[in-house]
Amino acid sequence: MHILNLIRWKNLLMIILAQVLIKYALFESFDVLTTLNTSGFSLLVLTTLCIAAAGNIINDIYDVETDSINKPNKVIIGKQVSENLAYNLFFALNIIGVILGLYLSHHVGKSSFFAIFVIISIALYVYASYLKGTVLFGNILISFLVAMSIIIVGIFELLPSTIPQNRATQLTFFDIIFDYAIFAFLINLIRELIKDIQDVDGDYKSGMNTLPIVLGRERANKIAFIVSMIPIGAVIYFMVTYLYKQPVAIGYFLLFVIAPSIYATIKIFGASNNFHYKHISLVYKLIMLFGILSLLLYPLIIKTA
């Protein structure tokens, strides 16, 4: 169980859920031409999970000092799992993920796609070892990598199977995936800002240079408040663009995405202690989950279209 907590299995489940729903709830519902069969797609999911799990491990290794101050009861490295074992798992998962990524890239006839996995692996290490403690750069990078866990499905499923006859259709569905990736980027970015504000004491003592340390908690709070309004507008734009003829889908987004997003934005404006920030972070986790689950609406959309 300690190893599962180390690799942050709940976050990995979210990745699995998102990728599986993109494949089977979105693509399959509309008979989109895809590249991977079930075994190939399973390999893509496994590759993503290995590299993501490795990133979570190296992040925890570098976070021991700050976590011992911010959340001492949740420190795993050095207590439940030795640092040596953690490093071995980090290297093993990275090697497995990169090798699988190499095989998968050759399998779809796009050897250059292999570079994606190498770059993501390196980026996760750079984030944990250096960029996490910088102003916004780390927040933006890790949020981009979260978005990539969604985009990569489109890269491997849609691009290799694109031909002149279906280019318009493939690009339309890639645009939908890209919109979901933007949503994931924005929600994760807000959560990263909230976590930085919540962990400001431990980060300061560890010599980090995060946004609330540089600008102060109050100014960082205002920035998080402003950023929190962006996904609300982005989701409304998505609804108007793709779902304006689907009242059930519009109702879902209004109730489970827009409403909690507005609630969280209001809460950010008045947040002043760690309990508030922890609550806001939980709300955004649920918003992310509901955003992913909205992919289940697409089979309904095709039946009512």
Instruction: Please indicate, yes or no, if residue 226 is contained in any of the structural domains.
Output: no
Bridge partners (DSSP) listed for residue 77: 81
What was the pLDDT predicted at 304? 54
Instruction: Please indicate, yes or no, if residue 281 is contained in any of the structural domains.
Output: no
Torsion of CA 69, 72, 78, 83, to 10 degrees: -60
Reported as a single tens digit per residue, the pLDDT across 138-190 is: 999 999 999 999 999 999 999 999 998 999 999 999 999 999 999 999 999 99
Instruction: Please indicate, yes or no, if residue 280 is contained in any of the structural domains.
Output: no
Instruction: Please indicate, yes or no, if residue 50 is contained in any of the structural domains.
Output: yes
Residues of the chain with pLDDT under 70: 302-305
The full DSSP string for 243-276 is -TT-HHHHHHHIIIIIHHHHHHHHHHHH--SHHH
pTM over 0.85: yes
Q: Count the alpha carbons within 13 Å of 84 in the hemisphere toward its beta carbon.
A: 0
Instruction: Please indicate, yes or no, if residue 274 is contained in any of the structural domains.
Output: no
**How many domains, in total, are found in the chain?**
1
What was the pLDDT predicted at 302? 65
Whole domain around residue 202: which residue ranges?
2-214
Residue 184 and residue 287: Cα distance in Å, rounded? 10
Instruction: Please indicate, yes or no, if residue 232 is contained in any of the structural domains.
Output: no
Instruction: Please indicate, yes or no, if residue 16 is contained in any of the structural domains.
Output: yes
Instruction: Please indicate, yes or no, if residue 279 is contained in any of the structural domains.
Output: no
Residue 252 and residue 50: Cα distance in Å, rounded? 33
What was the pLDDT predicted at 303? 53
CB 197 within 8 A of CB 219: no
Reported as a single tens digit per residue, the pLDDT across 264-295 is: 999 999 998 889 999 999 999 999 999 999 99
